[in-house]
Structure 1
Amino acid sequence: MSTTWFVTGASRGLGLHIARQALDAGDNVVATARNPRAVHDALPGYGDRLLPLALDVDDSARAEAAVHSALSHFGRVDVLVNNAGRGLVGAVEETSDDEARALFDTNVFGLLNVTRAVLPAMRSSRAGTIINISSVGGFVGWAGWGVYCATKFAVEGLTEAMALELRPLGIRVSAVEPGPLRTDFLDTTSLVRAEKVIDAYSATSGASRDWAQDSNHAQAGDPARAAAVVIDAVRGTSLPVRIPLGGATVADVGTKLAATDAILRQWRQTALSVDDEVAIG
């Protein structure tokens, strides 16, 4: 039987590549976007195996309606890819409350809306896979990206917890951690730049703003290759809770793990001393 994928943010970027490669492999795809016409234009010629749907993930009622349409059309959802998301560059102090809340609404609460809508059907069949598109910024924080990283750190925490909660129910969960990919992510349509600019942060968040401007469409990562890795991982028999993608991710995660290990070794005795009874090994 063909696998049925439900992909959010499928009109461009990594979501579009995952949808196209799944369709090319003979699978069914529910491809959602705020503008489903963009999905239809980007993925012509797939007939009834493609179901483009309008979806603003911020709206829980629309998420439920989209999942209902998917189940009515294909009968099931085997793989959910929570890909819809946005970016924000600016120092934490520069980022307004409205800017931060809007980012969390899409990157975190939008993911929760779609996941809650899909899970009842997966639980009923005791099968399914959930892929949460995170970022290397869900494992490592950078100056100028603090609020964005906070949303992806939340995605990573949710992924780890859901993997534990859902594994006994036959459902697998994984977070994908891409480094910079050559997508539209750094375009103004996807990346918000904090409106407030504070000169004191010119060497930190200011440098990140400059990097976003200079690196647009020049990132090292190939989104088509990234999509192929995701699809292969979903089809594999063993799915890790994290899937790192790209040289930047490998380098940054390795550096953080080494630094964290050094902190643990330096603070081990102090950390253990706060417990009433400590077995020091």
Structure 2
Amino acid sequence: MTMPSAPTFAETAAEAWAPLTGWRARARSAARAARIRLAAMQQGPQTAPFVRCLYSHAVFSDTVPTFRAFLKAAKQEGEFVDTPTLRAIIADGKASDGRFFHLSFDDGFASVYEDGGPVMEEERVPYTMFVATDLIDADPETLNSYFAHMPAYRARVRTLDWPQAKAAAAGIGEIGCHTRTHARLSKISGDPVRLADEVAGARAIIERHVGQPCDSFAWPYGTATDIDDAGRAAIADAGFTSNFSAVRGAVRPGATDVMDIPRHQLEFHWPLHELMVWARGFREA
């Protein structure tokens, strides 16, 4: 993907997300959409207890109506909780009648704060933004390098600046850590100096700029192969008290490892029925 050197950015979902190319990709997408639509027809509102972590990347101006509708619909089925409350629920380990969601956003895009923030404030939905610190206030060359390795995007997306991050944390938001450079931890685990810089170093940067403790981590790319024992140890040694994956799954109080919390991905340019399918735990084991 070739990026222009001028500081131009996608400001809508239509501008940001790359379209599907090739008949195989379109066929897979159509089959996936059919399965999800069938699941939506079969699912009903959630009435049994659950704890479910959801994550996304952006809330653009053209997806605000869907985002607001999703939050309102999800609140009819469960309560959104912040990360300390989530950790307490996991640690409690007791059967509960509660139904809980946790909402987070990876990579630190400005649209989450600018377009999504007012909606979450209005709906009183706490949220966490996991930021890669070197992308905050980044120069065009740094952003070019980052997005060149992100084929899901057709254009660069603006990232937060530090005053925005501080303002989010002063409200109902939380600023969590997503390394310094969006590093794949399993690729750098043989370099303890860099690993410590990406983890503990990023935490120190966040706390210096935001003025609040940074306790939550989400490892970039999020799959089981993107982290190893060295990466997990670095996260624990840096003092983080929760660590989030991008692996779909149920959170089970008393059983889920607070340093390996599963999350369901959803993006707000998807249709509302599809968002609710994942919010209701589609394909959880």
TM-score, structure 2 as length reference: 0.32
Higher relative helix content: 1
Q: Which has the larger radius of gyration?
A: 1
Highest relative contact order (Cα 8 Å, sep 6+), 1 or 2? 2
